[in-house]
Structures are given as C-alpha cells and as structure tokens.
Amino acid sequence: MSGASSSSTPPNGVLQNPKLSALGKAFSQIDLDGHDMPPSPAPSSPRPGKQYSIATQLVYSEGNDQYNASSVPIYQSATFKQTSATGGVSNEYDYTRSGNPTRTHLEKHLAKIMRAKRALVVSSGMGALDVITRQLKPGDEVVTGDDLYGGSHRLLKYLSTYGGIAVHHVDTTDNAAVQKVITPKTAMVLLETPTNPLIKIVDIPSIATLAHEANPQCIVSVDNTMLSPLLQNPLELGADIVYESGTKYLSGHHDLMAGVLAINDEALGEKLFFTINASGCGLAPFDCWLLMRGIKTLKVRMDAQQANAMKIAKFLESAGFKVRYPGLKSHPQYELHNSMARGPGAVLSFETGDILLSERIVETAKLWAISVSFGCVNSLISMPCRMSHASIDAKTRAERGVPEDLIRLCVGIEDGDDLLDDLRSALVQAGAMNVTLDGIEARNRTLEQEDPPEGEIIAAHAAAANEP
C-alpha cells in the first residue's frame, strides 16, 4: 500500500504515523507513562514445519526486536540495568561478556544453518580452537593431522610444550595410521578437511567412529573453515564440535575476525559457554552484526567462487601443473569428498617446481592480492610456507611434505575470465609457461604427470620440453 502520509492503526490500537517512524522511534508508540508499548508481532514468520532451503535460511532470521527491524539492532552496551540488587539477573542480560542480544540473534541463526542445537561465537577462529582445547587437562592426548593450518599447529605445539598434553600428528587421510595412535587416552581428535594448504580430504565418519569406540568421551572436533556450513555439516558426519573461522566464508568480506562453534550436546555446549564467559572471548556486538550481514550472501558468494575456482583449477591442470582441488576428478579423494560435502569450495593450491618461480608468479599477478586468509569476495594468492604456514618450522614442513614452492589460490567473485587472464599473464610473464604455437603450457612438466590431462589449452610442443 502506498500513501506514506496516511496513518494506520496497528493491532495494539496505537496510531502510528509513518512519517514519525523515520525518527527511529515512533513517538505515537510511547504510552503516557513513557513506557514502550508491547512489541507488535513480527510481520512475517516462517510456516510451522516448513523446511526452507539453505539459501532462504541464510537470509531469513527471526528477531524479537520491538520495531521488527529488518537488520538486527546492534546492542552496543557493555552492561544492562537490573531491576533489583538482590542477586541474580533480573533481565535476560547483565553484561556483554556473558551475553548480548545481538550475539544471541547471531548464535541462534548460526545454530540453524550449522544444523546444530547450539552455536557460540568468539573473537576469532583461533579463539574457537582455544575454547575447545581448554576442555583438555594435563595428561590428555590429542590426535590431529599432519597437514593443518599453521596457527592451529602453533596452538597445539604450545599446549604440548607447556600444557602437559601429548599431541600426535598423523596423516589423517590414512585411517589405519589414525587407528594406531587412537587409544582410550585420546581425549580429543582435531580434524581439518579439506586441509590447509594441501587440500587433503579426511574421512570424518570413519575417524569419529574410531575415536568414539576407543574412548566414548573423546571429543571429535572438525575445522570446517574451508567449506562453511553451506557445503559441509560435520556434526551430521559424527563430529561432536564443529568450529570455523568466521573471518573467512561466513563473513566473506575480510572486514572482521570471528570464530564459530556448533554443538548438539547440551552439557558440552554449557562447558564451552562457561569457557567463553570465563575467558572473555565472546564476539563483540558490532562484529556479530557484521557477521550476520555477511552470512546472508554466503550462498551467492560461494556459488560464484566455486564456479571461478573450477575454471582456474581446470586451466592449471590442463596446462600441466600439479593442482590440488577436490572439484577435479583427478583429486585422489574426489569420491570421499563428495560423500561428505556438497561442493569443493574455492581454495586450491598448485606447485611450479621452483620456489623463485612461484615467488615471481605471486608478485606478477595483478588481480590476485598477495594476502593470507581466504573466503573473501576478492581473489588472493599466497605462498603458504612463507605466509600462512610460516609458524610451522621448515623441518616440520618438509617432513609433512608441504612443498616450499606451493602457491595457494583463494578464488573470489570477480569475473572468471578476468581472473584466468590475469593468472595466465602472470604465469607467462614469470616464465612458468611457454607460449607455443598451439597455446601455452607449463614450463616445468616434471610434476608427476604421465599422460597429459585433457584440457582446453594443452599444447604438446616438442621444443618446450627442452626449455631450460
């Protein structure tokens, strides 16, 4: 209905003048005692029992704001007034470290999209892992991967050095190897899949079963940062806790730091909440609001990012590079990944065979920003051994098979052809590809490829094979 100047009578019988609502609070909604009228019902609520698709769930969130604000209000308040001093919290909130309405709104929304009973938000992804590992006590054992985000490795190293916790790093893509180190003393299993930066896939259901059989109290935690809840739901695959760096896909714009935890077990949820309140790492209201805003576009962003990533991965593979991306059929765990996830994500890595060459490529690309992190709308390029994984010493990196020349690409939402063009130019200018009569191909074709893969621009040019 149009007619902005006309007044309307809402169900509570208080006349509302639409012009006044522009002031932020309609004066006509305030009764004579100066108290706000009871909140009016939300103008639209989901149909009971109706299961909406994830695209809808990401956008739709139900608030209890009295003005039915379309964007959740930011309660930028550290403390909340109480009605009495006799103890207890006479209001739902007393202090933002313990709880805040903007944070509650976000946590409820996340619980829904992470298919969990409860979600909690903290100040960073590492903050989330810290909250999880604070459930350990000296003497406990942890089993985790040998390909792990550098910061997670650093935290676990700290715990094993100073916290009296034994940390076993194994190849978590090898279930038999995992079984060997899991014992009744295993209090926690920490998995990442796809792993950062080698994009290896870990069989969550099998490892969760092994862990729970060895120790029913064992907490299986999965870092789902690489995929987000849109593409993978580890709680449904046997995990007890799923955590993510909300800094990445969930927020999508590199304008905040956040960590997210999701659980189904009420008692475990209470312990995690206790730790967050006690240590004071709950996410600040403004960051909750930003994250809430980012989540709404997760599906459109991820769809675009995956389409671009697929294009880039196919191009690199067809040019002869060794590419690690679970969207490619050549990925050794392509089937396993697809049995757990609904998409490959948009992070891939590839090798050039030469560290200096990799450096030149990274520094020559223009559209691809040299940055750590991923999951943003902008495309990023990095060398994990020098950047995101520099906190793992060179010897350990070598033992774990992380190639020093590895280049990681975090694909954004720019035009896919522009991204491809820019990368191709960087590869050619840096000398990583030869321009041949038929197209271009990787200079260094020593990358464990027997048969040239099918692809758009493969050029089997005899001279190129002899290039220095």
Ligand X SMILES: N[C@@H](CCSC[C@H](N)C(=O)O)C(=O)O
Ligand Y SMILES: Cc1ncc(COP(=O)(O)O)c(C=O)c1O
Q: Which residues are marked as active site? A: 97, 149, 223, 248
In angstroms, rounded to a whole number, what is the distance separating the alpha carbons of residues 200 and 181?
A: 19
Give least dist CB 464 to ligand X, A.
Answer: 33
Helix/strand/coil (H/E/C) assignment for every residue in 212-273 = HHHCCCCEEEEECCCCHHHHCCHHHHCCCEEEEECCCCCCCCCCCCCEEEEECCHHHHHHHH
Q: In what order do the strands lie in the sheet with 347-351?
A: 322-324, 347-351, 407-410, 380-382, 369-370
Q: Which residues contact ligand X (rule: CB under 6 A)?
A: 149, 151, 196, 372-374, 388, 391
In angstroms, rounded to a whole number, what is the distance separating the alpha carbons of residues 195 and 209?
A: 20
Give least dist CB 295 to ligand X, A.
Answer: 19
**Helix H or strand E segment including 142:** strand 141-145
Nearest residue (CB) to ligand Y, 344 versus 431: 344
Map residue 167 onto helix, strand or coil: strand
124 binds, among ligand X, ligand Y, none (CB under 5 to 8 A by kind): ligand Y
Q: Which residues contact ligand Y (rule: CB under 6 A)?
A: 124-126, 149, 151-152, 192, 196, 223, 225, 245, 247, 257, 259
With tokens 């880039």, the residue in question is 312
Residue 122 bridge partners (DSSP): 259, 282
Nearest residue (CB) to ligand Y, 259 versus 343: 259
Give least dist CB 202 to ligand Y, A.
Answer: 12
Nearest residue (CB) to ligand Y, 116 versus 121: 121
DSSP label of 29: G
Nearest residue (CB) to ligand Y, 347 versus 459: 347
Give least dist CB 163 to ligand Y, A.
Answer: 19
206: its two tokens: 């099998």
Residue type, 52: Y
CB 57, CB 112: distance < 8 Å: yes
Nearest residue (CB) to ligand X, 78 versus 394: 394
Distances in Å between the alpha carbon of 66 and those of 70, 75, 290?
11, 13, 21
Give least dist CB 197 to ligand Y, A.
Answer: 9
Give least dist CB 155 to ligand Y, A.
Answer: 9
391 binds, among ligand Y, ligand X, none (CB under 5 to 8 A by kind): ligand X
The half-sphere exposure of 378 on its side-chain side, counting CA atoms within 13 A, is 13
Name the nearest CA neighbour of 146 among 401, 340, 385: 401
Which residue's Cβ lies closest to ligand Y?
Answer: 125
Distances in Å between the alpha carbon of 126 and those of 140, 199, 246, 281, 314?
20, 20, 10, 11, 33
